[in-house]
Structure 1
Amino acid sequence: MKTWIAAGALALIAGGAAAHDYGFAGVLSANNKGEMPEITLSVGKPIAEGPITLKSGMMYELEIESDGSGELALEGPGFFRAIWVNEVVVNGLEMRPFGMESVEFDEAGEMEIEFLAIKPGAYFLRIPGSKGESQRVEITIQ
């Protein structure tokens, strides 16, 4: 009797697994990714078009591009503490940092930061020491 029950359970498990194509669930699922505008670092030019709104619990990829017109950084300690950084990709090299406060470009290049928006609130990213509104982008996590 025990043999029949075990065989039946194995058949159900094997048949169930073959009938379904299980993929990522929750945070890492494909339908949990949001779009985010690119940020451009260039001397005297705006870093982004208008404010950015994100949803808590969604994954985003922040693409930052520097044209090399100057040694430019981007800071936003409040923003970086309100997100979970999954990975940072620079020149094809992937890093998984514990935390961040800023990034800096010494020359032209691109960086991608994949993150999960967590803590709702109003934040910013800006070029350190800049005074102009175009050198700062407001980010709201809802």
Structure 2
Amino acid sequence: MMKTLAAALSACLLCGPGAAAPLCDDMGFAGLLAKCNRGETIQLTLASGQPLGEDVTLQSGAYYKLEITADGSAELAIEGKDFFRAIWMNEIVINKIEIRPMAIDSIEFDKAGTVELSFIAIKPGRHVLQIPGTTGETQRITISIQ
């Protein structure tokens, strides 16, 4: 884990002046997971026929939480392998159970519930999270990492 965090920090520092960097300068012992390096929580709602959420812009090297809440109105999933490959996942929390995955492609809800994914944004670009099999603009969001 420490090698992964060191690589992520090195990648941010090698970008050069004016490039994306962590949100604070003095992160201390916690490194990239420091409280001062945390962006706002991203909240998405999975509900039949309802908008997924709004597009967001993240800072490369910063720590975020993605909270996905399903209302149970339908069996719904969210997918975005490009996004999930552009971040370093710290953990996924489901029903107070912490999971530390290497990678995921999607998350599916069979009934109402909430999942919280904490991560560090790494790879700059535009990444889409969407409900599989849908084509509507409101059924996806774009997450831009700068």
Fold in common (TM above 0.5):
yes
Q: Deviations over 1:86-121 (max 9, x none)?
A: 000000100000111110000000000000100000
Which residue identity is paired with 1:115? Answer: F
1:1-142 map, 5 Å: 24-49=29-54, 51-142=55-146
Rounded Cα–Cα distance in structure 1 between residues aligned with 2:115 and 2:29 = 25
Question: Match for 2:42: what amino acid?
Answer: P
Letter in 1 for 2:34: S
Percentage of pairs with the same residue: 55
* Secondary structure of 2:132's aligned partner: coil
In 2, the alpha carbon distance for the partners of 1:36 and 1:46 equals 18
Give the length in aligned residue pairs. 120
Partner residue, 2:14 = none
Could you list the runs of 5+ residues in structure 1 that have no partner in the other structure?
1-21
What amino acid is aligned across from residue 45 of structure 2 in structure 1?
Answer: T
Secondary structure at the counterpart of residue 77 of structure 2: strand
TM-score w.r.t. length of structure 2: 0.79
Displacement of 1:28: 1.5
CA contact (8 A) 1:27 1:59 kept: yes
CA distance in 1 between counterparts of 2:68 and 2:29 reads 27
